């Protein structure tokens, strides 16, 4: 509930930004801290509610992420066109404030695997003693590496499409296609994992590899050529990445109870998200730097050489 309030304040604070630092503090620090306080406890508590169909429950819960991306991609473009970016941020602040009553629906459970007493010492309280388990340590470091590429398409898909000549709503369609594949794959992956036909660790490895291949497919889409050809290729690559990344997501959190036990799943979820976010902190900026250099190196007569509209200075932007 506190995370919902912080996230909402982060959006409202950013709506009055006068500098990039202001946005860093609002969207990065305030909203980012709020999301952290929302995600780990919610998903960790959900894992404690289920035992027999835990991965399917996690996958079903995570479909909200893909469904919101599907709905918000065109909606945000409409809000930007109608109210400007400041008005859009204010409305997002009102929407995210609903996280507080959603948090009120969560109730703690006492389970047989819970420790008999609260953890003592800062390392145990934060769950850092889980890194002493070799299996969890390897798994957590692996998710950090995956996080370096996992968030790149979600950050750069829309600018990628704009640079390829698609308009604002065309870029929103690309994001929506990825969101549809992501949401559907999370459900299917959770159901498949709970059937027990394939060991969970093997499913995780297969879909992790497919996520990497999907990332390569998005990056290799040629941006030189006709707008129609670029749009179709980018839509196909975005859909493929959404399917692979969506299949991977519920498995990451579904495997945690088997690694650390039900009693440590909330702390383990927070630690895994922290390491995955650290990887995500490096991936999008590094890939964006490479894309910027690629754009600058193009001849001025090449298609798509003009800067995207949102990068061009204008009286409205000033």
* 54 and 154 inside one domain: no
**pLDDT exceeds cutoff 70 at 63:** yes
Instruction: Please state the domain count of the chain.
Output: 2
Does residue 131 belong to any structural domain of this protein?
yes
Question: How high is the pLDDT of residue 86?
Answer: 92
Q: Distance (Å, rounded) from C-alpha 42 to C-alpha 184?
A: 21
Structure token digits, residue 177: 């296609």
Whether 28 is covered by a domain: the verdict is yes
Instruction: Determine the Cα–Cα distance for residues 237 and 243; give it in Å rounded to an integer.
Output: 10
Look up residue 136 and give its two tokens: 């969890």
Structural domain includes residue 308: no
Contact 66, 179 (CB under 8 A): yes
Query: Tell me, what CATH number does 149's domain have?
Result: 1.20.1250.20
Query: pLDDT grade, residue 298 (50/70/90)?
Result: low
pLDDT band (50, 70, 90) for residue 316: very low
Summarised one tens digit per residue, pLDDT across range 195-216 is 888 888 888 889 989 988 888 8
pTM, 2 dp:
0.72
Residue 171 and residue 243 in one domain: yes
Contacts for 219-223: CB closer than 8 Å, 24+ residues apart: 219/287, 221/160, 221/164, 223/160, 223/163, 223/164, 223/165, 223/303, 223/304
| 273 and 219 share one domain | yes
Domain limit, last residue, from 56, 77, 106: 106
Is residue 121 included in any domain, yes or no? no
Could you tell me if 11 and 79 lie in one domain?
A: yes
For residues 312 and 290, the model is more confident at: 290
* 66-115 pLDDT per residue, tens: 677 677 767 887 888 889 989 999 999 999 999 999 998 888 888 777 77
How far the first Cα of the chain sits from its last, in Å, is 36
| Range 166-191 average pLDDT | 81
162 and 79 within one domain: no
């Amino acid at each position: 509930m506190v995370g919902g309030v912080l996230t909402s304040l982060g959006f409202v604070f950013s709506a009055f930004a006068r500098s990039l630092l202001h946005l860093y503090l609002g969207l990065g620090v305030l909203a980012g801290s709020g999301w952290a306080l929302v995600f780990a406890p919610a998903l960790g508590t959900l894992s404690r509610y289920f035992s027999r169909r835990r991965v399917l429950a996690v996958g079903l819960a995570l479909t909200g992420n893909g469904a919101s991306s599907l709905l918000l991609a065109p909606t945000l473009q409409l809000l930007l066109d109608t109210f400007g970016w400041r008005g859009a941020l204010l409305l997002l602040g009102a929407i995210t404030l609903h996280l507080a009553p959603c948090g009120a629906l969560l109730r703690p459970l006492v389970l047989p695997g819970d420790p008999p007493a609260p953890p003592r010492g800062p390392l145990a309280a934060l769950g850092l003693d889980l890194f002493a388990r070799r299996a969890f340590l390897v798994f957590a470091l692996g998710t950090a590496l995956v996080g370096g590429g996992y968030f790149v398409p979600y950050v750069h898909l829309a600018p990628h499409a704009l640079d390829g000549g698609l308009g604002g709503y065309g870029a929103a369609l690309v994001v929506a296609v990825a969101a549809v594949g992501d949401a559907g794959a999370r459900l299917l992956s959770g159901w498949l994992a709970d059937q027990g036909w394939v060991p969970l660790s093997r499913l995780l490895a297969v879909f992790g590899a497919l996520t990497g291949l999907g990332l390569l497919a998005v990056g290799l889409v040629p941006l030189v050529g006709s707008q129609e050809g670029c749009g179709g290729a980018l839509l196909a690559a975005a859909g493929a990445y959404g399917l692979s990344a969506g299949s991977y997501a519920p498995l990451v959190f579904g495997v945690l109870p088997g690694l650390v036990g039900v009693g440590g799943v909330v702390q383990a979820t927070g630690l895994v998200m922290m390491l995955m976010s650290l990887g995500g902190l490096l991936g999008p900026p590094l890939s964006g730097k490479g894309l910027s250099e690629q754009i600058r190196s193009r001849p001025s007569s090449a298609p798509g050489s003009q800067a995207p509209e949102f990068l061009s200075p204008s009286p409205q932007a000033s």
